[in-house]
Amino acid sequence: MVKKIRKTNPHLITLIQDLKNKSFEHDAAIWKDIALRLEKPSRNWAEVNLSKIERYVEENEVALVPGKVLSSGRLTKKIMVAAWDFSDKAREKIQKAGGKCLSIEELVKEKPDGKGVRIVG
């Protein structure tokens, strides 16, 4: 018999439900995709280094990481990054490069249609 995994973090449960609702309201499939990724066990969530964000995200885009942003690598572009969690060094490097760190909820409020957002991870 397979054990059903349930999320226990009330903040995460609310976020997943809100993402699904926003996906339906604004016809933006990106939010449903992120909700489905966050429903998976946290050991399967993305862990993305700054070097990968630097490589794949352009200056006018927003990087969305459905997991944690780690500090390995350098960031030279002024990029807005949204994620579930950031390491302290990663947050520091993003802000030093002139970028901005957001939670996923803040990004959904800023860009409800999901345009200009690139999923990394």
Query: What is the pLDDT at residue 6?
Result: 83
Residue 113 placed within a domain? yes
Residue 3 placed within a domain? no
Q: Which helix (H) or strand (E) holds 55?
A: helix 50-56
Residue 88 placed within a domain? yes
At 61-116, the pLDDT tens digits run 899 999 999 999 999 999 999 999 999 999 999 999 999 999 999 999 999 999 99
pLDDT greater than 80 at residue 21 = yes
User: Could you give the CA distance from residue 87 to residue 34 in angstroms, rounded to a whole number?
Assistant: 20
49 by DSSP, 3-state: which? Answer: strand
Residue 58 placed within a domain? yes
pTM: 0.90
Residue 53 placed within a domain? yes
Residue 4 placed within a domain? no
Per-residue exposure over 84-96, b if at least 16 CB sit within 10 Å of its own CB, e if not: bebbeebbebbee
Query: What is the pLDDT at residue 58?
Result: 92
Q: Which residues span the domain enclosing 91?
A: 10-119
Residue 77 placed within a domain? yes
**Arithmetic mean of pLDDT, 51-69:** 94
Residue 5 placed within a domain? no
Query: What is the pLDDT at residue 26?
Result: 94
User: Could you give the CA distance from residue 55 to residue 79 in angstroms, rounded to a whole number?
Assistant: 12
CA 41 from centroid of its chain's CA atoms: 16
Contact 117, 56 (CB under 8 A): no
Report the CATH number that the domain containing residue 36 is assigned in CATH: 3.100.10.10
At 34-43, the pLDDT tens digits run 999 999 999 9
Query: What is the pLDDT at residue 104?
Result: 97
Structurally, the chain folds into a number of domains equal to: 1
Question: How many residues are recorded in the chain?
Answer: 121
